[in-house]
């Protein structure tokens, strides 16, 4: 009875929340108040797929969704990113009948890395994909090592772990548990570096014995080929590997055979595609079909958006504030292009979840990349322009090409209407509306 009541209230609250424009976590919150273990009382499908990690969860989940739906599965997914226990509860109960029977074939969920332990104390994913651990919203989440400790608590013995072999924090989970593991990763390529390119290195010490790690090469941040100088921990050979990649041509080859055209030409996106491919193989979808589906995939999650301002066309690249890797990826991307570029950087509301004025993360981003010859102009806007300027100055960013403007409007008016220039905007989704309301979204 309690179960039925909780499901009913959740469904009613969901309808109400939709009318009131409230988020999707509220109905789940109410249901959990009524029946705290409601998730363990409902009948879920055999195929529960969960994705967690710092960067790329949403993109990966969307690609997996595209693959599964187009392979004939009836899939439910928290695409809006309500990825804590309340949001997952809303999703599950809304798709159950009043007896608690889940009505679809597959439950696909993106889970917050710190809160996964709560979600999986009630439900066990069949496939649990963990992609990476980077510094992300440190004031909220803490250090990746702390997040790693939280993720450990979310591992259930019956889950098959799908792990990024190149991230030592993630792949060390295989040494700590007896779960079945499937690895994915990228082999050495023309983009690897001998030294860690990031200002900090979260792979400096072995996650298992805390001795120094030795890297053959880095793909980016602390992701690469490593081994511990003390214990037997080392990068495992991936089951599914990017054996060739060409970002200027925009493709990658998986396991020497399967060519995927990349919708967005970044190494990080290549890892996300590979993760989705790996999951697809776990679900017994053939390589040929996966290639076809990934090649037809159009990025939809709004992380990249085209817009026009007056006669100037531009591209918004969502770059998460308080997340170095997210900014560095986009900086690497624009500086790798052959085009001449003008860039608008909007840093106004720093935090995505609560108010903070912490700007320390600005010092971790490789803004020196802006010295690249193809970057012709950088327009900085938002509350924190002076903090950014101090950061640029201390990092020897060429200030001759930097313009500071308080408002987004002024920043947009500063753009040159020059057909030779490609225009990019980098900002967080917490700040994106300040741009989007001033431009025509294409
Ligand atoms: Zn070790």
Q: How far is the CA of 322 from the centre of ligand 1 (A)?
A: 29
Q: What distance in angstroms lies between residue 42's CA and the mean position of ligand 1's atoms? A: 41
* Four-way CATH pick for 304-441: 1.10.10.10, 3.40.50.1970, 3.90.190.20, 3.30.70.1400: 3.90.190.20
Q: What's the length of the chain? A: 442
Question: How far is it, in rounded angstroms, from Cα 351 to Cα 123?
Answer: 31
Measured in angstroms, how far is the CA atom of residue 103 from the centroid of ligand 1?
A: 45
Find the 173 Cα to ligand 1 centroid distance in Å.
Answer: 13
CA of 208 to the centre of ligand 1 (A): 5
Q: Taking 70 as the threshold, does the pLDDT of residue 117 lie above it?
A: yes
Instruction: Report how far ligand 1's centroid is from the alpha carbon of 172 (Å).
Output: 10
The dihedrals phi and psi of 298, each to the nearest 5 degrees, come to: -110, 130
Q: Ligand 1 centroid to 230 CA: how many Å?
A: 5
Token pair of 90, please?
A: 């809303």
Residue 297's Cβ-side half-sphere holds a number of Cα atoms within 13 Å equal to: 33
Q: How far is the CA of 243 from the centre of ligand 1 (A)?
A: 27
Just give the CATH number of 46-72+116-295.
Answer: 3.40.1190.10
* Domain map (residue ranges) of the chain: 46-72+116-295, 304-441
Q: What's the 136 CA to ligand 1 centre distance in angstroms? A: 25
Å from CA of 98 to ligand 1 middle: 50
For 148-199, where are the E strands, in sequence order? 160-164, 181-186
- pLDDT at residue 98 tops 70: yes
What separation in Å is there between the alpha carbon of 157 and the centre of ligand 1?
A: 23
Ligand 1 mean position to 231 CA, how many Å? 4
β-sheet with 47-52: strand ranges across: 75-77, 106-110, 47-52, 127-130, 160-164, 181-186, 240-246, 251-254, 258-261
Q: Determine the pLDDT at residue 353.
A: 66
* 407 CA → ligand 1 middle, Å: 50
pLDDT of residue 136: 85
The residues, ordered by sequence, that sit 6+ positions from 91 with a Cβ below 8 Å of its Cβ are: 24, 28, 76, 77, 78, 82, 107, 109
Cα–ligand 1 centroid distance for 214 (angstroms): 10
Distance 66 CA to ligand 1 centre (A): 38
Using the mean position of ligand 1's atoms as its centre, give its distance from the Cα of residue 379 in Å.
45
Position 292 confidence tier, pLDDT thresholds 50, 70, 90: very high
What average pLDDT score do residues 169-194 get?
96
Q: How confident is the model at residue 284 (pLDDT cuts 50, 70, 90)?
A: very high
Host H or E run for residue 259: strand 258-261
Q: What is the 3-state secondary structure (H, E, C) of 310-356?
A: CCEEEEEEECCCCCHHHHHHHHHHHHHCCCEEEEEEECCCCCCCCCC
**Alpha carbon of 220 to ligand 1 centroid (Å):** 21
How far is ligand 1, taken at its centre, from the CA of residue 120, in Å?
Answer: 28
pLDDT over threshold 70, residue 337: yes
DSSP 120: T
| pLDDT at residue 220 is higher than 80 | yes
pLDDT at 367 over 90: yes
- Centre of ligand 1 from the C-alpha of residue 213, in Å: 7
Structure tokens at 396: 């020897």
* Residue 301: pLDDT band with limits 50, 70, 90: low
Å from CA of 235 to ligand 1 middle:
11
211 C-alpha to ligand 1 centroid (Å): 6
Between the CA of 225 and the centroid of ligand 1 the distance, in Å, is 14
Question: What are the pLDDT digits (tens) for 145-164?
Answer: 899 999 999 999 999 999 99
The pTM of this model reads: 0.90
pLDDT at 17: 84
Tell me, in angstroms, the distance from the centre of ligand 1 to residue 202's CA: 14
Does residue 309 surpass a pLDDT of 80? yes
Asked whether 26 and 86 are in contact (CB, 8 A), the reply is: yes
CA of 206 to the centre of ligand 1 (A): 5
Residue 160 alpha carbon to ligand 1 centre in Å: 24
**What mean pLDDT comes out for the span 92-98?**
94
State the Cα angle at 12 between 6 and 15, rounded to 5°.
140
pLDDT of 101 > 90? The answer is yes
**Residue 182 — φ and ψ, nearest 5°?**
-120, 130
For residue 209, how far is its CA from the centre of ligand 1 (angstroms)? 4
Return the percentage of the chain with pLDDT > 70, whole number: 98
Looking at residue 379, its pLDDT comes to 97
pLDDT at 81: 65
Q: For residue 308, how many other CB atoms are within 10 A of its CB?
A: 13
User: Does residue 381 come out as left (phi exceeding 0), alpha (psi in the -120 to 50 range) or beta?
Assistant: beta
Asked whether this chain's domains 46-72+116-295 and 304-441 adopt the same fold, the reply is: no
d(CA 374, CA 336): 9
**What is the distance in A from the centroid of ligand 1 to the CA of 62?**
35
Distance 205 CA to ligand 1 centre (A): 8
Confidence (pLDDT) at 275: 98
Q: 174 CA to middle of ligand 1, Å?
A: 13
């Amino acid at each position: 009875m309690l179960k039925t009541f909780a499901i009913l209230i959740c469904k009613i609250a969901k309808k109400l929340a939709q009318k009131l424009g409230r988020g999707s976590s509220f109905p789940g919150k109410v249901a959990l108040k009524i029946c705290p273990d409601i998730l363990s009382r409902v009948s879920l499908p055999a195929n529960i797929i969960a994705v967690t990690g710092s960067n790329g969860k949403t993109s990966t989940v969307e690609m997996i969704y595209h693959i599964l739906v187009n392979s004939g599965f009836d899939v439910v997914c928290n695409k809006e990113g309500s990825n804590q226990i309340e949001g997952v509860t809303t999703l599950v109960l809304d798709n159950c009948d009043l007896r608690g029977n889940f009505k679809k074939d597959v439950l696909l969920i993106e889970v917050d890395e710190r809160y996964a332990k709560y979600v999986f104390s009630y439900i066990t994913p069949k496939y649990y994909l963990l992609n990476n651990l980077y510094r992300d919203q440190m004031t909220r989440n803490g250090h990746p090592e702390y997040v790693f400790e939280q993720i450990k608590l979310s591992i259930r013995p019956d889950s098959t772990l799908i792990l990024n072999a190149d991230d030592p924090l993630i792949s060390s989970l295989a040494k700590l548990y007896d779960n079945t593991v499937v690895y994915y990763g990228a082999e050495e390529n023309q983009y690897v570096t001998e030294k860690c390119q990031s200002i900090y290195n979260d792979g400096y010490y072995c996650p298992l014995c805390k001795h120094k790690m030795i890297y053959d090469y880095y793909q980016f941040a602390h992701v690469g080929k490593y081994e511990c100088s003390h214990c037997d921990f080392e990068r495992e050979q991936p089951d599914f590997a990017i054996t060739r990649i060409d970002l200027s041509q925009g493709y990658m080859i998986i396991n020497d055979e399967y060519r995927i055209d990349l919708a967005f030409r970044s190494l990080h996106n290549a890892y996300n595609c590979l993760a989705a491919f790996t999951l697809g193989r776990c679900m017994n979808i053939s390589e040929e079909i996966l290639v076809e589906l990934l090649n037809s995939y159009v990025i939809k999650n709004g992380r990249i958006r085209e817009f026009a301002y007056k006669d100037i066309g531009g591209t918004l690249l969502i770059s998460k504030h308080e997340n170095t890797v997210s900014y560095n990826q986009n900086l690497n991307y624009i500086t790798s292009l052959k085009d001449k570029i003008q860039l608008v950087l909007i840093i106004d509301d720093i935090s995505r979840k609560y108010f903070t004025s912490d700007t320390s993360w600005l010092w971790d981003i490789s803004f020196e990349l802006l010295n690249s010859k193809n970057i012709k102009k950088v327009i900085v806007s938002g509350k924190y322009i002076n903090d950014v300027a101090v950061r640029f100055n201390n990092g020897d960013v060429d200030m001759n090409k930097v313009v500071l403007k308080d408002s987004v409007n002024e920043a947009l008016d500063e753009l040159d209407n020059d057909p030779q220039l490609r225009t990019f905007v980098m900002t967080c989704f917490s700040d994106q509306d300040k741009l989007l309301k001033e431009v025509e979204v294409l």
